[in-house]
Copies of this chain bind each other. A is one copy, B any other.
Amino acid sequence: MRCAVIGGGAWGSALADLLAKGSHDTRLWAREPDVVASINARRENPRFLPGVPLHPAIAASGDMAVVLDGADLVLYVAPSHVLREVVRAGRKHVSGGAIITVAAKGIEPETLLLMTDVVASELPRNAVTAMSGPSFALEVARGQPTAVVAASKTASASAVVQQTLSSNTFRVYTTEDVTGVELGGALKNVIAVATGIAEGLELGLNSRAALITRGLAEMARLGVALGAQPATFAGLAGMGDLVLTCTGALSRNRAVGVEIGRGRTLAEALSGTESVAEGVRNTESALALAARCGVDMPIAAAVHRVLFEHRSPRDAMTDLMNRELRAERDE
């Protein structure tokens, strides 16, 4: 199968490596010329996935036409805030029969659309699938066991994604609950900022576990209001990804939270980094969606107050502990 991976970050590189190892004709588009050059010449992505050898059959390019022409499967692995622009830039090269998979996680600020809806609005003829789950790119590239979920309203499309990407160590499960899978991926980053703030304040692991637990509860509340299935939040794309992001190696979202918990400003915490803190960007969108549905998201609201309303991290977390943990008995 001819596959196009659009996005040369860590996750795009790991997915391209997986496809190439599966003997698929794999082309990778990257924005950065140095990434294109080093993947083609040295079989490595030193900027985003240093030290990991990539499969020699990956053909990297900065030209969307070269990467997209004739592709049967297109994976969009761009950050959420540039996804629409990236899809638009190449859409005339995407054939109507191509199956699309979106690995971007987020909510578009102006429209409050999830990422598959953003793609569908730009590529209305194509079947679109969302892929999510607990999957650090580095571990996937190293061949460590990983399981993710591919969600599509078109069951045949998620089946193709499953068949194309699955290997001995990378397992893809399918579901039709696109909304649940996408919200899991978008909202976990907001909760990860919250657990980062608690870490920066040195509140300990007991409170981190409580925050993760209550965080999943508010994610599921919003999801159900938007038509998602509760079971999705108890699965890999919900609880699985949330636990990984909040307890695994320090993610960008948690790291920003930690800095803020230690007393830095948001601007200071965001400076000097290449990668993206999706949780910072998505906090406002998540709260807008929650307001539209009449759903309470106290942890996301606390993160918003700290990031954008000058509330002190300690006061916000104290309010939260006092308020939110009471909810256990009310459910």
A203 to B136, CA, bound (A): 12
A-side interface mostly: helix
**What is the CB-to-nearest-CB distance from A1 to chain B, in angstroms, rounded to a whole number?**
22
- A235 close to B206 (CB less than 8 A): no
A204 to B170, CA, bound (A): 13
Selecting from A19-27, A108-116, A286-294, A320-328, the interface stretch reads A320-328
A248 to B235, CA, bound (A): 21
- A235 close to B328 (CB less than 8 A): yes
A206/B139 contact (C-beta < 8 A), A212-B243, A321-B145 known: yes
A147/B234 contact (C-beta < 8 A), A240-B210, A243-B213 known: no
Render A141-169 as a binary contact track against B, CB cut-off 8 A, 1 for contact.
01011110100000000000000000000
- A206 close to B144 (CB less than 8 A): yes
A243/B209 contact (C-beta < 8 A), A142-B204, A171-B321, A204-B136 known: yes
Task: Quickly give the copy total for this chain.
Answer: 2
Q: How large is the interface on A (under 10, 10 to 19, 20 to 34, 35 or more residues)?
A: 35 or more
For A162, the closest partner residue in chain B by CB is: B329
- B248 close to A205 (CB less than 8 A): yes
**What is the CB-to-nearest-CB distance from A248 to chain B, in angstroms, rounded to a whole number?**
4
- B213 close to A234 (CB less than 8 A): yes
Render A264-275 as a binary contact track against B, CB cut-off 8 A, 1 for contact.
000000000000
Give the contacting residue for A239; candidates B203, B216, B236, B321; CB below 8 A: B216
A309 at the interface (CB under 8 A from B): no
A181-229 at interface with B (beta carbon < 8 Å): 202-210, 212-213, 216-217, 220
- B328 close to A204 (CB less than 8 A): no
A89 at the interface (CB under 8 A from B): no
- A249 close to B205 (CB less than 8 A): yes
CB contacts (< 8 Å) of A209 on chain B: these are 134, 236, 240-241, 243-244, 248
Known interface pairs A134-B205, A144-B202, A212-B243; 14 further A-B residue pairs with C-beta atoms within 8 A, sorted by A's residue number? A139-B206, A140-B206, A145-B204, A145-B206, A147-B321, A147-B328, A171-B326, A173-B325, A175-B329, A212-B240, A213-B236, A213-B240, A217-B234, A235-B331
Identify 23 residue pairs between A and B in the complex whose beta-carbon atoms are under 8 Å apart, listed by A's number.
A135-B206, A136-B204, A144-B202, A145-B204, A145-B321, A146-B207, A146-B210, A147-B207, A147-B321, A149-B328, A171-B325, A173-B325, A174-B329, A175-B328, A208-B248, A209-B240, A210-B240, A212-B239, A212-B243, A213-B236, A216-B234, A217-B234, A243-B243
